Amino acid sequence: MKQFRQVMLFLVLLVGLLIVPSALAQDTFGLSNADYAYWTNAVETSAAFNTLSYDYTFRFNVSGVDSGDINIQVAGGGQIGEMNGVPMFSMTAVGEMTIGRDRTPIDMEVRTVGDLTYLELVKGSGWTGGTAEDFLSGFTEALGLSELPIDPESLFEGDMGDMMAVPGMTDAIMALSMLQASDFIAISRKADMGGQAHFVIDLKIADLLSSDALSPLLGLGLAQGMGADASGMTDQEMRQMSMLIGMLFSDLTLTYEQFINTSTNLVERGVLTLNFPLPAMLTGGADTLIEMEMVVNLSGYNEPISVEAPKDFQRVR
């Protein structure tokens, strides 16, 4: 159940809860001690749920593309938790994707009951079901792979396998230990709104990508992508590379707003917003703007939930 909840939180409710590891608690990220204590307590209390309901809206837009603007708008909801010892999860997604003049409707649903997950990509088209391993196997076959280059289960448990054999990987991982979250995360508390405490988290992506702690990993990734050996790069070359990447993302803004009920001290709403302007010199065409907003509303903490497995489904192969 622990792994199930962690995976589902990461995939679906990251915006809603934004868990900050206890290792980062040595810094208040710009908040007063009292506000930081209140915020962390509310987040930790919310994350300890047994059952939870949610609804969300998602908007993604790319404008200025030569082939036509891209727009995705989706809304849905679901439940997550455990009832009578059985893990349960559900999510609906209804909306539309537009690329230029082409429009594609979106109407899908996913459910998990126990060890089986069920997916209906188009409403009324029928359900496909299987274990997580079944879906992963089908995914690798669709990519034309005999197996994934990294075992997700082993990676989740902390075993990086052959990744550590890549030249420069050990140094890159060790450098990450120097990463200071307060260098790229700033948190502020705004005026309370309608019985909700309002916190804003600014994620400084450019500062993160240009940091000395991340430069070895970025250098390694770029070198691997070009088929080169990163072990021959000097520290100065890696820092220059990370600074260049940071400059490319200098106009990107990524903010997360979190609303906490001041009566229950539970997280009720999260809003993640991305704004990323790309100049023509980078796109090779016109100026391009990438925008994204995701809003997640949380409710029904520790109340009964019900997720039913479809009566008929085709086993994933």
User: What is the three-class DSSP state of 252?
Assistant: coil
Residue 10 scores a pLDDT above 60: no
pLDDT of residue 136: 74
Residue 3 scores a pLDDT above 60: no
pLDDT of residue 11: 43
pLDDT of residue 146: 53
Residue 203 scores a pLDDT above 80: yes
Question: What is the per-residue pLDDT across 99-111, written as a single tens digit (0 to 9) for each?
Answer: 988 999 999 999 9
User: What is the overall mean pLDDT for the chain?
Assistant: 79
pTM of the shown model: 0.78
Label residue 80 exposed, middle or buried (CB < 10 Å: 0-12, 13-18, 19+): buried
Q: In what order do the strands lie in the sheet with 51-63?
A: 185-193, 196-203, 253-261, 267-278, 288-299, 51-63, 70-83, 86-99, 102-113, 116-120, 128-130, 314-315
pLDDT of residue 216: 63
**Higher local confidence (pLDDT), 253 or 24:** 253
Residue 1 scores a pLDDT above 60: no
Distance CA 284, CA 287 (A): 9
pLDDT of residue 8: 42
**Higher local confidence (pLDDT), 138 or 97:** 97
Distance CA 130, CA 118 (A): 7
- Over residues 113-123, mean pLDDT: 94
For the ranges 13-22, 157-166, 203-212, 262-271, the one whose mean pLDDT is highest: 262-271
pLDDT of residue 219: 60
Report percent pLDDT > 70 for the chain. 67
**8-state DSSP, 21:** P
Question: What is the per-residue pLDDT across 41-99, written as a single tens digit (0 to 9) for each?
Answer: 999 899 899 999 999 999 999 998 877 899 999 999 999 999 999 999 999 999 999 99
Question: What is the per-residue pLDDT across 280-314, written as a single tens digit (0 to 9) for each?
Answer: 666 667 788 999 999 999 999 999 999 999 999 99
Q: If pLDDT is split at 50, 70 and 90, which confidence band does 23 have?
A: very low
